[in-house]
Amino acid sequence: MNVANRLNLKNFLPIIILIILYYVVGELVFFLTPNEKIVTINIFFPEGIALAFAIIYGYRVVIGVFIGQLLLALFNNIDLIPALEVSFINSLEALLGVYLFDKFDISKSLDTYEDFIKLSGLIMFILQPFSAIISNMALIFYFQTPIEEFFYNSFSWWFGNVMGQILVTPFLLLVFSKYKNINFKELFLYSLIFIVYLYLIEIIVGVEDVFVLLALTLFISILITLYKGIVFSVLFNILLVLVSAYAIYIGVGAFVSNDYIENNINYNLFILLNIVMVWTIHFLQIKTGKNR
């Protein structure tokens, strides 16, 4: 393989990986939430993957966001024209994310509390309102969703995407920035143990009390942040989402009461508390000079 071919492969590989991840992970989210499709209140990981790739690799990978979203929309019963518009809007969101990430001078390694707050604010108050409102207007215009559901769908889109980006984008940025210092074999082993632990308490035992489940998971999150560091604990939060979503899918555990809205509120607050706790502990460690 000559130099030109290697350079071309290097340029296109992140785009190809992004397309595959966006589509496959998006289908996984929809599989675990069969009652909802292109608009979902549940945590939408592809948006976090898209933003991280755009920040890491720059504007050139935004075409991957467009194609990944287009495939996801088309294979989930969205007509071609609205699917193209939603994909274009998500691509603009990624472009805006890259521009503002640089404009706000946010470090890719998220070394400070201010970096994480600025990234979270960028996601919550600029990127996702832009994406949620305009995309849902496009879906209504093309009769893909009813107009009376606009506010609920916009909130669901905003909330699911915010949670997905606050979870996944920092994790990928941390891995990209700190990969030389990460013991990936150890990370895999600890993750496997944590998955088994979650499967035991959420599915085998089927803990039904949200506060008991929160105590059992938050305790582990705190320990892993203190002794293994933020990369481990953020990945554990992602695994917590996946196992909890699977428990909901099969109808066991703390988030399967008769009230659908109550379930979603409890589930998302449960995840959010774990996220806030691990990042708070991480930055307290940095402040005291004890971070890993």
Residues 72-90: tens digit of each pLDDT: 999 988 899 999 999 999 9
HSE-up of residue 264 (Cα within 13 Å, Cβ side): 15
157 and 259 in a single domain? The answer is: no
User: How confident is the model over 106-119, as pLDDT tens digits?
Assistant: 999 998 999 999 99
Tell me the residue length of the chain. Answer: 292
Domain boundary among 180, 199, 226: 180
Total number of domains constituting the chain = 2
What is residue 150's predicted lDDT score, i.e. its pLDDT?
A: 92
22 and 105 in a single domain? The answer is: yes
Any idea what the CATH number is for the domain that residue 106 is in? 1.10.1760
56 and 123 in a single domain? The answer is: yes
173 and 187 in a single domain? The answer is: no
What average pLDDT does this structure show over 244-260?
87
What is residue 266's predicted lDDT score, i.e. its pLDDT?
A: 86
Domain boundary among 112, 145, 180: 180
User: How confident is the model over 277-290, as pLDDT tens digits?
Assistant: 999 999 999 888 76
End-to-end CA distance of the chain: 41
Burial-class residue 157 by CB neighbours within 10 Å (0-12, 13-18, 19+).
Answer: buried
**Cβ atoms of 256 and 248 closer than 8 Å:** yes
Tell whether the model's pLDDT for residue 292 goes beyond 70: no
Q: Long-range contact list for 219-223, CB < 8 A, 24+ apart?
A: 220/194, 221/274, 221/277, 221/278, 222/277, 222/278, 222/281
Joined tokens for residue 177: 């920035």
The percentage of residues in the chain with a pLDDT greater than 70, rounded to a whole number, is 93
What average pLDDT does this structure show over 93-117?
95
pTM over 0.85: yes
164 and 208 in a single domain? The answer is: no
Tell whether the model's pLDDT for residue 8 goes beyond 80: no
87 and 10 in a single domain? The answer is: yes
Burial-class residue 287 by CB neighbours within 10 Å (0-12, 13-18, 19+).
Answer: exposed
85 and 173 in a single domain? The answer is: yes
- The candidate with the shortest Cα–Cα distance to 139, out of 62, 76, 50, 65, is 76
110 and 200 in a single domain? The answer is: no
90 and 165 in a single domain? The answer is: yes
116 and 201 in a single domain? The answer is: no
User: How confident is the model over 184-201, as pLDDT tens digits?
Assistant: 999 999 999 999 999 999
Average per-residue pLDDT for the chain: 91
The pLDDT confidence band at residue 5, using thresholds 50, 70 and 90, is low
**Cβ atoms of 18 and 64 closer than 8 Å:** yes
Q: How many CB atoms lie within 10 A of CB 62?
A: 23
- CA dist 22 and 50 (Å) reads 7
**Cβ atoms of 45 and 169 closer than 8 Å:** no
- Its domain, for residue 132, covers 1-180
Domain boundary among 163, 180, 197: 180
165 and 194 in a single domain? The answer is: no
229 and 254 in a single domain? The answer is: yes
What average pLDDT does this structure show over 237-241?
97
SS (H, E, C) the chain: CCHHHHHHHHHHHHHHHHHHHHHHHHHHHHHHCCCCCCCCCCCCHHHHHHHHHHHHHCHHHHHHHHHHHHHHHHCCCCCHHHHHHHHHHHHHHHHHHHHHHHHCCCCCCCCCHHHHHHHHHHHHHHHHHHHHHHHHHHHHHCCCCCHHHHHHHHHHHHHHHHHHHHHHHHHHHHHHHHHHHCCHHHHHHHHHHHHHHHHHHHHHCCCCCHHHHHHHHHHHHHHHHHHCCHHHHHHHHHHHHHHHHHHHHHCCCCCCCCCHHHHHHHHHHHHHHHHHHHHHHHHHHHHHCCCC
